Structure formats: C-alpha cells, structure tokens
Amino acid sequence: MATIERDVEYDAQRHLMTDIYPATSAQTRGTILLLHGGGWFRGDKAKEAQPAGKLATAGYQVVVPNFRLAPANHYPAPLVDMDTLVSWLRTSGRLTDFVAVVGASSGGNMSVEVGLKYGWPTVSLSGILNIEEWLQEHPHVVGSLDHQAPANADTTAIDQDGQDDEFYKGFIEQYFATNQDYHAGTPYHHVTAQAGPMYLANSMNEFVPNDGVLRLATALVAQQVPVTVRFLPGTRHGEAYLGDVWSDVLAFIQRAESQQG
C-alpha cells in the first residue's frame, strides 16, 4: 500500500502544508484537490482523511492542503494559497493531466473559485455561494460565531441544526475585511464559459441558503457550462450527506475525466 505523504510544505514563505494521498490503483487516473471547510476560520486537512482515502481508492492522487484562516487572514488569502499550491504541484511534477476540485461548506466556495479560474471539474457540497445578495437581504441579522463546534468535531456531524442566519453572517463578515469585497467574493458574479463543469449539492433546510446553488447554476447555464444540481431533504450540511451523494460525485468526476480524454 502506498504511503500517505503528510505535512509536505508547498509554501515555504508561509510554511503551509499539504497531505498527499497517492492513488491505491496500479495507475493514477488524475489529481483531486480536496479543500476542507470550517467557515474560513477553522478546520484542518487532517479532517479530510476519510473522503481522501475513498478518492485514493477510486484511483486518484488526492491533495489536501491547509491554507491561511480568518480572522488573521481575509479574502482572498486562501484563494491566493490555492494558486501557490497549483504552481507548486506543477513545478514539482505532481500535477496530472486530469484535475478535479472537491470541497464542502467554505471549502465548497473555494472549490468553485478554483474551478472557475482553472476550468477544472468541481464538486461543491453546501458551498458558501450567496454572499453579497444574502447580506443585502439580511441587514438586521447580527452576526455571531457562538455556533462553534469543538475543535475536534467530526466534520460529518456538525452544523446539523437547520437555519442559523447569525452564524452564517458571522463567519462571512469575519472572512471579508471590507464590504467592498462581497461582490468579488460571490462566485456566481464571475462565471465565464471557461469554467469547469460543476456538481452542486445542498440540503433544503440547512444553515447554508440553497438559493446560492440556484444562482450559480443559472450563471453556469447562461455560459453553456454543464452543471448538475442535487437538493437533499433535511438539515445535514456538507460532508454529513457525502454518503448519499458519493456515487453521484464519483460518477461526475469519472465522466469529466473520460470527456477530457
């Protein structure tokens, strides 16, 4: 069995690390960037061990990076880190011909941003997609980070209580240094025809507003970019419903791989 490379430094200046899970198949089918969630202010690559292992078993090299977090770092710092990661993967000869991006929650937002920029197939589970318009529509909500899970909480079992506008607003306001960044940080405002195909999922009654999925899907369709949308019943968030959509996600990635070939 191939050995997982842990804490590989991809940014020497900022001492940012990534874990790399080699494909367990005889031949590597491609690379998947797996971006952790946590509202841009918490989370760690180590919490992605389970989905990373499953993707590696499916034949993909899986790269799971850490990146700069709020409140010490604001938008677009984590996205700049992803550019650094991509450059490092290329120069180190680790980036395969086929690349896809997967993420949940704030990691879903980042995955979409990476997919828009590089044209790579993207999976977003409960991605934070509606930012500018949601904030405009909820001026009286007072942001709060009181809804904080313990540092060691299982990512498949947190934030399952349904709507929580205070928490949603709280971590968004912490991530953006000024409200002038809200427009630029809302993914559906800068969709182009060069975007990669996308798989977007959301629970219908969770704390992440599901209209962000609809807005992004509409923008993608307008640019003739293929998009798959799935809404699940209940309040589960992000990786909590990964088991339900796993076969869809894998089929989406494999289909994109075959179409590229």
15-60: per-residue pLDDT in tens? 999 999 999 988 899 999 999 999 999 999 999 999 999 999 999 9
Question: From its phi and psi, is residue 207 left (phi > 0), alpha (psi between -120 and 50) or beta?
Answer: alpha
Write down the pTM of the prediction.
0.96
As its CATH architecture, domain 5-260 has: 3-Layer(aba) Sandwich (3.40)
Residue 261 to residue 254: CA distance in whole angstroms: 11
pLDDT surpassing 60 at residue 150: no
Say which residues have a Cβ less than 8 Å from residue 56's Cβ, sequence separation at least 6. 21, 22, 23, 24, 62
pLDDT surpassing 90 at residue 260: no
> pLDDT exceeding 70 applies to what percent of the chain?
94
DSSP assignment letter at 223: T
Is 155 in contact with 239 (CB distance < 8 Å)?
Answer: yes
**One-letter amino acid for residue 255 of the chain:** R
Average pLDDT, the chain: 94
76-130: per-residue pLDDT in tens? 999 999 999 999 999 999 999 999 999 999 999 999 999 999 999 999 999 999 9
pLDDT, position 25 = 87
Report CA torsion sign: 111, 115, 118, 120: positive
Residue 18 to residue 10: CA distance in whole angstroms: 7
